[in-house]
Amino acid sequence: MNKIKELTKSSFEITYELFIVMIPTLIVVKILDEIGFVEILNKMFAPLMFLLGLPEAISLVFTTSMLTSPYAGLIVFSGLPADMPFTAAQASVLGLLILFTHSLPIEVIICRKAGVRARAMIFIRLGLGILSCYFLNLFFELTGYMNYPATILLPSLESAPDLLSWGISQIKGLGMIFIIIVALVIILDFLKFIGVEKLIEKALKPFLNFLGVGEKASTIAVVGVTLGIGFGAGLLIKEVKTGKLHYKDVFGVLVLVGMLHSIIEDTAVISLIGSNIIITLFLRAVLTLCIVYVFMRLGAHFTKEFWQKHLTNYNIPEYKPNS
C-alpha cells in the first residue's frame, strides 16, 4: 500500500511539473493563432523555405510544427494542394527540420524549468537545426540525389473546427500524457527493483562519458530519447531538485534529449510525408551527438559564471554528489 502511495505521489508530482508549463503554453499559442500571429510568422519564414529548397507553402507546416507539434504540422501538410511538386529530397529536408524544431514553446519552457537557458536551447535547436537542413539541401542540389516525387503516405486528417473541439482534443492529449507518466513511473520503479536501471547506467556510462555527460543522467537520457522530452524532462525536473546532478550534466542531457527524443514515434510520423527514414534518423542522431560533444568539450573551459549567465539558470540547486 505504501508503495502504491509513493508511486501515485511521484506520478502526480511529475505531471504537475509538466502541466503548469504545458497548459499555459498551449493556451498562449492558440490565442496567437486566433489573432493571426501565426500567419505573420508564416510570411517571415517564407524566405527561409526558399533557402532550404522548400515550397513557400511549406512555411505554414514548419511554423505550425514549431509552435505546436509534428502532428499539427502534418494536419496542415495534408491540406496543401495535391499537385504541389514535392520531391523525396525536399521531404527529407522538411522531415529533419521538423524533428529538430518542433514544439519549441513547450519544450523550451520545460528545459528552462529544468535549468537550461531558453535562449541557449532555442539557438541550438532552431539555429543549428536550420543550418543542418541547409547543408542537407545543398547536398541534394549538388548531387541530384532523391530528386523524384515523394511517396506521401499521409492520410486525410482533420483539424479542430472550433474552440470546443480544440479544448476537448487538448484535454484528451493531457489525459494520455498522465496515463503514460503513471505507466512510466511504475516501469522505472520495477526496473530499479530488478536491477535493470543499474545495468542501463553501466552500459551508457562509457557513451555518456565520451559525450561529457555524467552517468547519473543516463536514465533520463534513455527515457527522453525513446519516449520524449516531456517525459524525460519531467523526470529530470524532479531529479534536478534533489541536487544529485551537476549543472553541466543537466545541460548536456537536455541538449541530447531536446534534439534527439521520441526517435521511434517522431521518425515514423515524419515518414508519412515521404522523408527517407534512414537519412532523417541517422543525421538527427549523428548531428545531435556531435553538437553535445562539442558543447560539453568547450564547456569544460567555461567558468561557472559563464555557464549560469548563458547556458544554465538558477533552477538548478547546488550540486550534492553524495546526497
- Are residues 56 and 42 in contact, defined by beta-carbon separation less than 8 angstroms? no
> Please, what is the angle between helix 88-101 and helix 263-270, to 10°?
140
Q: Find, among 5, 258, 3, the residue nearest to 124 by Cα.
A: 258
Measured between alpha carbons, how far is 147 from 158 in angstroms, rounded to an integer? 30
Q: Give every CB contact of residue 301 below 8 A, 6+ residues apart in sequence.
A: none
Percent of the chain at pLDDT > 90 equals: 31
Q: Decide: helix, strand or coil at residue 58.
A: helix
* pLDDT on residue 95: 96
Measured between alpha carbons, how far is 100 from 129 in angstroms, rounded to an integer? 5
What is the average pLDDT score of the chain? Answer: 83
Q: What is the pLDDT of residues 178-233, one digit of tens each?
A: 786 777 678 767 777 787 667 766 766 777 778 888 777 777 787 778 777 766 66
Label residue 156 by pLDDT band (50, 70, 90).
very low
* pLDDT on residue 155: 53
In sign, the C-alpha dihedral spanning 140, 67, 55, 92 is positive
* pLDDT on residue 201: 64
* pLDDT on residue 86: 95
Query: Can you give the pTM of this predicted structure?
Result: 0.79
Measured between alpha carbons, how far is 140 from 163 in angstroms, rounded to an integer? 41
Q: What is the pLDDT of residues 55-109, one digit of tens each?
A: 988 988 898 889 887 877 877 787 677 788 999 999 999 999 999 999 998 889 8
What cell numbers appear for 131 in the block?
A: 543550418
Q: Give every CB contact of residue 188 below 8 A, 6+ residues apart in sequence.
A: 197, 219, 223, 235
In order of 41, 42, 157, 275, the CA distances from 38 in angstroms are 5, 6, 20, 25
C-alpha angle 58/59/62, rounded to 5°? 90
Residue 87 phi/psi, 5-degree rounding, is -90, 165
- Are residues 156 and 98 in contact, defined by beta-carbon separation less than 8 angstroms? no
What cell numbers appear for 185 in the block?
A: 513511473
In order of 95, 225, 283, the CA distances from 286 in angstroms are 15, 13, 5
Greater model confidence, 236 or 298:
298
DSSP one-letter code for 116: B
Q: What is the pLDDT of residues 162-180, one digit of tens each?
A: 778 778 877 877 777 678 6
Percent of the chain at pLDDT > 70 equals: 88
Domain edges within the chain: 2-311
- Are residues 233 and 254 in contact, defined by beta-carbon separation less than 8 angstroms? yes
Greater model confidence, 16 or 291:
291
